[in-house]
Every structure is written in C-alpha cells, then in structure tokens.
Structure 1
Amino acid sequence: MSSVGSGVPAGRQPRIASDLATLIEAVADAVVGVDSGRTALVHGDRAVTWAQLDDRAARLAGWLAANGVGVGDRVGIGLYNSPEYLETVLAVLKLRAVPVNVNYRYLEGELEQVLAMVDARGLVTDATLAGRVAAVAPRLPRLRAVTIVGSAEEGGDGHSRRYEEAVAGPPAPRCERSPDDQVLLLTGGTTGLPKAVVWDSAGVFGVVASAYGRAGRPVPPDLDGVVADAVAAVRDGSAPVFLPASPLMHGTGFFSSLGNLLRGGRVVTLPQRSLDPAALWTAVQEHRVNELAIVGDAFAVPLAAELERAAAEGRAYDLGALRRVFSSGVRWGTETKRRMLRHGRMTLQDSIAATEGGPFAMSISGPDPDTANSRFTLAPGARVIAPDGSDVVPGSGEAGVLACTGNLPLGYLDAPAATEAVFRTVDGVRYAVPGDAATLEADGTLTLLGRGSGVINTGGEKVFAEEVEQALVDCPGVAEAVVVGVPDERWGSRVAALVVPEAGVELDPAALPAAVGERLAGYKRPREVRVVPGIERTVSGKVDRRWAADLARREFPGSAPQAPGQN
C-alpha cells in the first residue's frame, strides 16, 4: 500500500474503537430486529430496506473479493447519487479495502490519470462512463474488477460485470476489521490532478458524528452506544430522513449520509441527474425529509424560485418536516436565504469546510426570514492564525489563514511535503490549514478572503486554472491564455479566460469553450472568453493574476447562464 504523507498524527480527539463497516452492520442488525422491513435508502419509486442494504453490500463485496480486491486495495466509485453508491461504499469497507470517490464527469484522460494515481484495483461506475472505462482499462493493468451500474454491456472479460449480476452472487463473510481502515477522498489542489486525502475509519466517524450534535444527542463512545442510539431513534420516530442534493462523491453529501445511517435514519436520493427543483421539493414533501444538503446559490437560487412559483399557484410545498438545510464550501447569499425561510421554519447552515477538515467557520440563519445573514464566525476548534502560528488579533485587520483541529485526516497520499504544509502542529496541537485566508473582526465575525492557490470553485466543483490554460494553449491559433474565476451570483464563481492569438490569427472566442470541452470535463470549460492583445506579467515573469482577475471582472460582469450539474 502506498504511504500517506506523515505518520500517525498527534492531537487527535478520542477515537472510537470500531470501523465504519462494523458500525453500519451492527446498526443494520439492530434496526432489522426492531422493524424487519424498515427502509434505509429511497431512490424515486425504489426502496432498499436495511436488510437489503447489508445483504447487497455483502454480495458485492463477495464479487470484488473473488476478482482480486483485498485488504488495502483501492476501489473507485464513479456513480451518481443512488443506493448503489452507498451500497458500494459499505461493500468496499466490508473487505477492509479503500473506497475512492471518482468524478463521473471525468473524460478519458482525466479518468486514466486519477485511477493510475490511486492505483485502483477495482471500479464501480455508471453505464454512462462505461465507454471511457473500456478505453482506459487496457492501460491500467492493476484495474481488475469493474462493475457497471445500468444498461452497459459487459467489458468482454471475466473481471467486468453488470452491478445486478455482481450482487446476485454469494456474500462475503463478515470479518474483524480495524479503526485504522482507510477512506480516500479526492479533492482539488493546485495542479490538474486532484489530491487524495487519506482518512482512517475512526476519524471519519468523528466527522460524521456531527449528526448526533444536530439532533441534540451526545456522541456515543463505542459501538454499543451507536447501536443503542439508533434503536432508540427508530423506536421513538426521531431517526432522521436526509436528502443529499449535493453529490455523494463530495464530502458534504458523503459524510452526512454516513452519519444519517449510523443514527438508523434514511437517505433519499433523486433519480434526476441534474437539479430539478420541483422533483427535489416533491421528494422533501413526500418522504418527510428532515435535512437537506445543497451547494450554495447554485442550488438555492432555483430552489427558492420553485418555492415561490408553487406558492403563487396556490400549491405550496409542505416543508413541515424540514428542520435544516446546509451547504458547505460554497457560500450562498443572504437574500436567497431570506426567500427560502419565507416558505418553512428551518435552520439554514452555511459552512466553510474542506475535505482536509472543518468546519472552519459557520453562518446560521432561521427560522424567521429576518434572521437571514451571511455573517461567519469561527467554528469550535477553529482559529485564524498568522504566519508565525499566533492567533490573529480581532479587529487588527491582519490577514491570517483558517485552521481547525479535532478529527483530521492522516494527510495526503504519497505527498509528505503537501501533508506537512497543510497539517501543521501549533502549540502541540495538530491543525488543518488548507490556505483559506480571512481577517477576524472585533465583533468575532470573519471576512473571508478566499484561497490564493489558483483553484476556482464553481458550484462546488474545483477547477484548476493552469489545467484549463494548457487546454486553451493547445487549441490552434492560441498563443497564451490565463484563466481566472469571476463572481457569479448563483455559482459563486464561473470560469473565465483571457486568450492571446498567435500572430496573424483571428480567433473565434465562442469556439474555444467547446474545444476545451473535448478534453476536459464540462464544468471546467470557460463560460466567458475574451481575446486580448497581451498578458501582463510580474517582475519575475509570472502571469499577473491580479491584473487578469481585475480585467475579467470588468469584462464579464453579472452572471452567465449555466445548466446545473447532477445533484
């Protein structure tokens, strides 16, 4: 197994002496004992009971094991939100293998790079990616077990199966596991390839245990406590119903779904592969959803508009069961929050967090519309630290970086320097410091300054400027390109490009986004392109990104229309 960037970290919170798979198995057994037909997962008209969830995961684990997946092997999960996603996570954990989130938007080159980077032994993916997988699999000799969800044909050898055939085989027996068993979460960085953040199972439990806090319950100290809490919640009717509108391949939806299951709750996913506000609110109403995860204004703006439209037509949605809507990583506007709060009494939670840890800061609104705000304050265990490791003085105007302690990952896969840079020990305590800059005001609120790493966050997806720049420069007639993010009232940021033509060439800027889209995922395509005579540079010869950002904001004011992606 490849190594993580550093050894076992110091300063961790007390760890639960169990792994995620054993915890979920124990909860499943207990819930079935109370209610044998109780539903764990809902997807459109389809329901998966707790007994079926555990059985299907065990059978998928059996197929993966029969095809060479063992302890410590990594299995990519390239799926849309669905029961199969959570079944696969549990199946991989049952084997003490390592689940890895894989973006279903990847094109062939990106998919090959990521699977090679993590040395994937297995892959469970959607039929829409089957052609891409078939194209890159011959160049990935370690990739031996591929399972396709949907109607794709088999890959032509004994190591590829349709998902329903895989879960029809014999189940893998339960085995003894460890809190040290791992989960890999791919996240953005400053180069084209994402970074792989390595979590251990006990650390993930520490993060997902926030589900207990949201319910006003203490975090159980052990497996027996987890089971007892789940049984009590099922019996008294407080077991939560959660709808991740945000992708399960991202940390917010993934962590929240696991926490919900550990409480004996239900996870509702939507069959629609792009945001359908009417379908989402209908599901919230029909399934009595208690908690909803979204991606900032990219989701909140059309969701608020649908609430208003339905109310104006005299058929307002019943949001009586909805207690909390939360977004992480992409801020959403005060007015949008106010619009949503006019249609239900709920708490709106806006968090600044990262795959590396968090939350660092939070903004809470609700239940009354007049409480809507975008004022962020530090989360428990978070600080704003200066370069020397000291705390930034409130009201000083000094910029620092957000840091948080608590349950943190082990580090980055095979990246000791990056691990050392981000996971710092300050005053004997280990912190995650991904680089989000902020000032701390005298009243304790934060002014968030963003991250100066060249990463553009658009609707929750991270886009690497240099990767898109390279794709543009490879287009015929393009001599230079600089890519920046410009503000967008719905998506937070959108990708914009300034391009310099080769001498004597007349570029068509409208054709360049499509050219980029032929080699990169759609969300990475520039939404705005402007031809410029030259690019300003600093005295060191580097692109002056501040100049580029200022010019782009002047050239591209307002918002550009853009279809939202899957969940």
Structure 2
Amino acid sequence: MTQFDLATLFDAVAATVPDRVALVWREQRRTFAEEADRIGRLAAVLAAHGLGRRAEAAEPWESNHDHLALHLHNGPEYLEGLVGAHRAGVAPFNVNYRYVDDELAYLFADAGPAAILYHEAFAPLLARVLPALGRPPLLLQVADGSGHALLPGALDYESALAAAEPGPFEASPDDLHILYTGGTTGMPKGVLWRIGDLVEGPLGVARRDGRPYADLAEALANVHRVDARTLVLPPMMHGSGTWTSLGGWLGGATVVLPDRVDGLDPAGVWKIVERERVTRIPLVGDAFARPLVEELERGAYDTSSLRHLLNSGAAINPATRRRIGELLPAVRLIDVVGSSESGFQITRMGNDPFRASAGAGVLSADRTRLLEPGEPAVGEEELGWLVKSGLIPRGYLGDPDKTRGTFVTFGGRSYVIPGDRAKLLADGTVEMHGRDSMTINTGGEKVFAEEVEAVVRALPQVAEALVVGRASERWGTEIVAVVRPAPGSEEVPDEVLKTACAEHLARYKIPKAFVRTDAGLRLPNGKADYATARRLVAPSQEPT
C-alpha cells in the first residue's frame, strides 16, 4: 500500500479539480489551481533562501529539516504555509498566537525556527523576542491592517510570492511535520509526525474501513464527487483546526474560514453557514457549542446544508448536546478523543458510547499488556491507560527522555501513551476518565498548572499558590488559583492579580478567580496539597 506526502497529494487534488473553490475567507475566493500556484511560489521563496532538508535524523527525537514557524491567526496564509513548507522540504510548526514574550521565547528556543511566517499584528512581539535567537530567521510578514511596518530584513508576504516562480520539488512521506502541544506534556513539546502517517491517520486519507489506498489514482477517485464545505472554527494553531482544514483540502473539500479571527462570532458563523451552504463544522467543546446553540435559539438561520458537527479537544455537556439534537435533528454530532501525540483514539456518534479507533486500546495500569474487554487494569484496579499503535508520531523534538517515556515498545509493537486514563468495558466500549497529569483543559486549551503556579507565586502579593480546575458552564473547566496572600495583601483585588499575570501568561492561562486561604498548601513531605486546594474551590454558582 502507498503512503502520500502532503504536497504531492495536494498538487494532485488541485490538478483533478483545478476550478473548484478551495478556500473562502471574507471577500476572498480562491480555486485549487490558484492555491496550488501560491503554495508553489511560497516553496520557491523558502528554497531560494537555502531552506529545506538537512542530514538524516538518527534518533526519533531529531529533525532533519529546517523549521518554519506559523505565527498566524486563521487565514489563507496558514494553509499555504503548511503545504508550502512541505513542498520545500521544510518542517512547519504551530505557534500559539496568544503567547506573550516569555512563552514565545521558550517555544522558539525549543523549535529553532529558520523562518517565521507571521501576521503584521505580531511584529512588535517578535521584535522583542527575535534578538535572543542565535540564527536570524527568514521573516515573511503578512499584512493584516494593524498598522505595523515591516520588521528589519522582513519580506512582505504577497510581494515575495509575486516575485517567485513555482518550480519542481521532491517530497517524501518520511518528511516531518511538527505539532506543538498546548501543555499536555508539561511545557509545550514538538510532536514529530512523519507526514505520511499524519496524512493517512489524523488527516483521514484512507478508505472508509481505515485501510490505506492502493495508489494515488484510488485516493483521487472520489474527489470529483465530493460536495463538502467545511467551516473551520478552531484556531489552526491547534491540531483540531489544522487537521480538519488539511483533511478537507486533501479530499477536495472547500475550506471556509469565519470572518473574525480573534474570537467566536456566533451570529457570523450561522450567516456563513447559510451563505456558503456549509456541510461540516468542527467544534471544541462547550466554549464553541454553547454560544452557537444560544445564537441558533435567538435567530432564524437556514441550516439545511449542515450534515456533521465534529467535536474534539473538550467535552460538550449533556444539556447542550440535547439542545443540539432538538435544534439540528438532521445533523450528526461526532465526538473524537485524541491528542497531538496520538491522533484520534476513540470516537462516538451522537449519544452512543465511545469506541476505539483503529490501533487504539487500553493498556494495563502497570503498562505491561493490552486489556481485553471487561478485564481489570491490574488486580482490582479498573482504570488503565488509553494507548495507540500503528500511525503514531516518532517522538518529541529534542527530548529523548520524554520520547522514551511516552512512546514505548512491547510485544513487538510501538505504542504512544499520552496520559489519559480509561476503562475498557465488557462490551468493547471505552469509558474515559481524563488526563492523569495536572493538565487543565479550559475551553479546548490545555494549561499546565505548574506553569501558571510559577507565575502566580512570583507575584509580590502572594506567599503560596496552587492552581486547579473548577467546573464552568461556559469553559467546561476554568482556571482557579488558591493563594495564601503575602502579609498585608489580603485585600488585593482579583483584577490586580490578573493584570500582573498577564505580563507572563496568555489570556486563557490567567486564573478566572483567586481563592484566598490561611491554610498551608503543602504536605509534610513538601509536595503540593492539591486535595486541600480542590476542597477550597467550590463549583461556580454563576456562568463565567
């Protein structure tokens, strides 16, 4: 069976349906042929600056490519950057556009970008961070009307494309694609995917039964008949947004982007569904689903084209699920659980139980064997580890220890253990019990508690702090800091603490509330007393 690289397959799709609209955003409508030309020009720009493949990577945590940072809001340039990088033999990686100076400096130090494709709005931030990079990267600045001049040495994106000419290229399924986690593994880590595995796995370029296509002709056979228009709401800086967009393109679907790029505009979303006859919308839990449902209840919108809602990254609460079923009875709601490290592991249709996808299973609690349906994880312990084999990444960029701990081999097969606990029931369905580590999922964003704690503890008004999650109707889970105030700081308002945190943390990581206590927040052995912190944090009584 044949695996495909991203650039070759996209070019083949564009040659198959050159006049079909590939992308819609605001006033822009571009065909597959037009996007293929722009992607070829971007690849030529990267190649002209000497970027591409390097020496072969000997270890699973090593990369043999130059790296392109995508510091962008959603827009045509994001997809062009992803495919154009692969066409040039460059490995793209995502940048969380909410990062502030310290976070971005950490990411760039870890990823080592040789080039940065960025929106003009981020120029001031980059100007502060770039001097710390040892190697000056190629800078490609995308105009967005924010009024910032080109950074020194930067190229205007559109001008650079206009001056370039697409040329021949060589791409391979072995080329790497880097997807940075949002904090699931602690500080962000770059997950190294072979692009062939990513295309066949998370991007969904495979037969309906999950088996790979025999050849390119079979992969393209259905492209002529596709009638799909995907409205991509999640940021492409996350896997859910990237995978949905690229998977759509590789299947010949039109990708539609909402007008607003820095937040959710529910009324605008439903107007686009009407105008573009959208067939599919990816969601990220209640943070997306609840506002959309509320707007649908307020207004009258034509949703007759809509066939699928694909939810991943966070849960949708039962009440919202019921409202979706009542308002959109002909629409199928599909829930997917996975991670940057695993792709999709378990899925469910509507209110059915979760079932394992190809290659997924539940590992015993002691990590020695795969469980059979209904088998205890170990002894009387019922919870095991959700794992995936087959189409999985190579490892974490530059981190051999984390790679060895997360990507394991036993019984002659390689598995990834992202850290989710689960129970394999007697009927073969899977019951999820959440992430074992101290990661808080808030509105689809994964937040590493210890990172937030370090910032809060550094505030002069705080003597000690622990960070935990609290149930929230809007966010699913919200960030709450339990703090022991420094002497004389007991009456400092929450807003003062939030403002101080904003200097070091992206907005979604800032605690929504600060619970004050005189109690000690450490156990006798010096470890954090999260049990006490959770007892002090009661569920929110009002929507947040």
| TM-score normalised over the length of structure 1 | 0.87
The one of 340, 343, 346 aligned to 2:327 = 343
Match of 1:57 in 2: 39
Partner Cα distance (2:501, 2:472) in 1 = 21
- Answer yes or no: is the 8 Å Cα contact 1:208–1:258 preserved in 2: no
Partner Cα distance (1:478, 1:147) in 2 = 42
CA offsets, 1:193-234, max 9 Å, x none?
A: 3010001110111124536567x897533223223332x32x
The one of 159, 162, 165 aligned to 1:165 = 159
1:539–1:206 Cα change, 3 Å:
farther
Matched to 2:273, the amino acid is V
- Answer yes or no: is the 8 Å Cα contact 1:384–1:403 preserved in 2: yes
- Answer yes or no: is the 8 Å Cα contact 2:68–2:113 preserved in 1: yes
CA offsets, 1:251-310, max 9 Å, x none?
A: 112112111111111100112121111111111122111111011111111111111112
Matched to 2:356, the amino acid is L
Whether 1:207 aligns to 2:201 is yes
CA offsets, 1:138-162, max 9 Å, x none?
A: 221324211222235444533x122
Matched to 2:507, the amino acid is G
1:45–1:219 Cα change, 3 Å:
farther
Whether 1:484 aligns to 2:468 is yes
The one of 9, 12, 15 aligned to 1:29 = 15
Which range moves more in the overlay, 394-403 or 507-516?
394-403
Whether 1:331 aligns to 2:349 is no
Partner Cα distance (2:294, 2:534) in 1 = 31
| SS of match in other structure, 1:389 | coil
| SS of match in other structure, 1:61 | helix
What runs of 5+ residues in structure 1 fail to find an aligned partner? Answer: 1-13, 366-372, 562-567
1:322–1:26 Cα change, 3 Å:
same
Whether 1:69 aligns to 2:51 is yes
Whether 1:97 aligns to 2:106 is no
Structure 1 segment 205-354 matched on structure 2, within 5 A: 205-210=199-204, 219-230=212-223, 232-233=224-225, 238-272=226-260, 273-310=262-299, 315=300, 317-344=301-328, 345-354=330-339
- Answer yes or no: is the 8 Å Cα contact 2:199–2:205 preserved in 1: no
1:109–1:191 Cα change, 3 Å:
farther
Match of 1:382 in 2: 360
Matched to 2:229, the amino acid is V
1:522–1:123 Cα change, 3 Å:
same
1:534–1:375 Cα change, 3 Å:
same
Whether 1:47 aligns to 2:33 is no
Partner Cα distance (1:477, 1:516) in 2 = 12
1:31–1:391 Cα change, 3 Å:
same
Structure 1 segment 128-207 matched on structure 2, within 5 A: 128-149=121-142, 150-151=144-145, 152-158=147-153, 160-189=154-183, 193-207=187-201
Report deviation, 1:409. 0.7
The one of 513, 518, 525 aligned to 2:510 = 525
1:473–1:107 Cα change, 3 Å:
same
- Answer yes or no: is the 8 Å Cα contact 1:61–1:91 preserved in 2: yes
The one of 354, 374, 398 aligned to 1:394 = 374
The one of 525, 535, 544 aligned to 1:550 = 535
| SS of match in other structure, 1:271 | coil
The one of 436, 440, 449 aligned to 1:456 = 440
Partner Cα distance (1:206, 1:559) in 2 = 44
Q: How many residues are matched?
A: 522
- Answer yes or no: is the 8 Å Cα contact 2:210–2:358 preserved in 1: no
Matched to 2:324, the amino acid is M
Report deviation, 1:186. 0.2
1:374–1:492 Cα change, 3 Å:
farther
Partner Cα distance (1:463, 1:400) in 2 = 23
Partner Cα distance (1:378, 1:30) in 2 = 34
Report deviation, 1:498. 0.7
Report deviation, 1:15. 5.3
Report deviation, 1:521. 0.6
| SS of match in other structure, 1:342 | helix
Matched to 1:540, the amino acid is N
Report deviation, 1:25. 1.0
Which range moves more in the overlay, 318-327 or 292-301?
318-327
| TM-score normalised over the length of structure 2 | 0.91
Structure 1 segment 497-512 matched on structure 2, within 5 A: 497-510=481-494, 511-512=496-497
Which range moves more in the overlay, 477-486 or 447-456?
447-456
Match of 2:61 in 1: none
What runs of 5+ residues in structure 2 fail to find an aligned partner? Answer: 54-64
Report deviation, 1:441. 3.4
Partner Cα distance (1:424, 1:194) in 2 = 20
Whether 1:359 aligns to 2:344 is yes
Matched to 1:449, the amino acid is H
**Cα RMSD (Å) of the superposition?**
2.1
- Answer yes or no: is the 8 Å Cα contact 2:68–2:114 preserved in 1: yes
1:186–1:549 Cα change, 3 Å:
same
Partner Cα distance (2:542, 2:206) in 1 = 38
CA offsets, 1:69-96, max 9 Å, x none?
A: 3321100001111111101111111100
| SS of match in other structure, 2:152 | coil
Whether 1:534 aligns to 2:506 is no
Which range moves more in the overlay, 137-146 or 454-463?
137-146
Partner Cα distance (2:206, 2:281) in 1 = 16
- Answer yes or no: is the 8 Å Cα contact 1:327–1:350 preserved in 2: yes
1:499–1:395 Cα change, 3 Å:
same
Report deviation, 1:58. 1.8
Partner Cα distance (2:156, 2:471) in 1 = 43
1:308–1:141 Cα change, 3 Å:
same
Matched to 1:304, the amino acid is V
Which range moves more in the overlay, 171-180 or 126-135?
171-180
| SS of match in other structure, 1:512 | helix
- Answer yes or no: is the 8 Å Cα contact 2:473–2:543 preserved in 1: no
Match of 2:6 in 1: 20
> Higher relative contact order at CA 8 Å, sep ≥6: structure 1 or structure 2?
1
Partner Cα distance (2:398, 2:240) in 1 = 24
- Answer yes or no: is the 8 Å Cα contact 2:231–2:278 preserved in 1: yes
1:84–1:209 Cα change, 3 Å:
closer
Partner Cα distance (2:480, 2:201) in 1 = 35
Detail structure 1 runs of 4+ shifted over 4 Å in the superposition: 211-214, 216-219
Structure 1 segment 462-473 matched on structure 2, within 5 A: 462-473=446-457
